[in-house]
Amino acid sequence: MTPLIPNEGWHVLHLFYHIDHSQWFLFSEDEQRQAKVRLTELIQEIRATQDTQLLTFSIVSPKADLGFMLLTPDLHVANSFEKQLTLSLGPEILTPAYSYFSLTEPSEYTMTREQHIVEEKLTPGEPDSDAKLAEFDKRMVHYRSYRVYPQLPDWPVVCFYPMSKRRSGTDNWYSLDYEARRELMSGHARVGRTYSGRILQLITGSTGLDEHEWGVTLLSKTTEDIKAIVYEMRFDEVSARYAEFGDFYICLQLPLPELFKRLCL
């Protein structure tokens, strides 16, 4: 099979399931134990695959029970792991509640060095400006690689929602010229940067791949920070005027033994 690997970035699947406990309780204790071993071994296999990450979640509220976030380069591999995960606890135990398919991507609005010099009124060659530029360069190297090849931490609170940019009447993001969009996005980024260290955001592109245009995955250590950033962003013009959102899922990232207990498996 020829691998389906993007030139840049990884494929990303958010997979949320309901657990059918009425089927599960028909299993003998031994069958339940074997099912959990199967899922545990599959997760180990996935995590041992090169450039592959798998996050495991208990979902808050009955929107879903169990969730996975899978990041891996080859779509054949992603698809194969996805089918195995769905069946891992036995047929009809996991039923899909929601899923989202996207790709990590660089941003077309990432600030260039030249734009940074103009916006911050820097004078290259002057020690003060050079120090600021060195800091900018360091941040951008990290940021560019993080967006396309993220390493997600085990922070406990994960918020996922899909979003699109509006295309209606005078509020059509796609009929704005590039400079206007870039200007608006730099306001968005300014708000975002004030949450540095508290919110880790991963924006993955899904135009043509799923219902919305991006998947937004926010990782945090508290629910307050998730609520605060999403609220504050609503006042920023990019969100206030141009953003449309899908359903929100709050996930708790848990290690597997704890996850089994939490889900009454």
- Give the binding range for ligand 76R (CB under 6 A) out of 29-37, 118-126, 191-199, 247-255: 191-199
> Measured from the CB atom, is 176 or 252 closer to ligand 76R?
176
Asked if 228 interacts with ligand 76R (CB under 6 A), we say no
**Using the rule CB under 6 A, which residue among 59, 185, 202, 254 binds ligand 76R?**
185
161 counts as catalytic: yes
> Measured from the CB atom, is 36 or 188 closer to ligand 76R?
188
Q: Considering 17, 98, 100, 161, which one is annotated as catalytic?
A: 161
**Using the rule CB under 6 A, which residue among 2, 28, 168, 196 binds ligand 76R?**
196
> Measured from the CB atom, is 87 or 230 closer to ligand 76R?
230
The full 3-state SS of the chain, as one line of letters, equals CCCCCCCCCCEEEEEEEEECHHHHCCCCHHHHHHHHHHHHHHHHHHHHCCCCEEEEEEECCCCCCEEEEEEECCHHHHHHHHHHHHHCCCCCCEEEEEEEEEEECCCCCCCCHHHHHHHCCCCCCCHHHHHHHHHHHHHHHHHHHHHHCCCCCCCCEEEEEEEEECEECCEEHHHCCHHHHHHHHHHHHHHHHCCCCCEEEEEEECCCCCCCCEEEEEEECCHHHHHHHHHHHHHCHHHHHHEEECCCEEEEECCHHHHHHHCCC
Active site residues: 161
Q: What is the contact surface with ligand 76R in residues (CB under 6 A)? A: 107-111, 143, 163, 185, 188-189, 192-193, 195-196, 199, 201, 203, 214, 216, 218, 229-230, 233-234, 239, 243
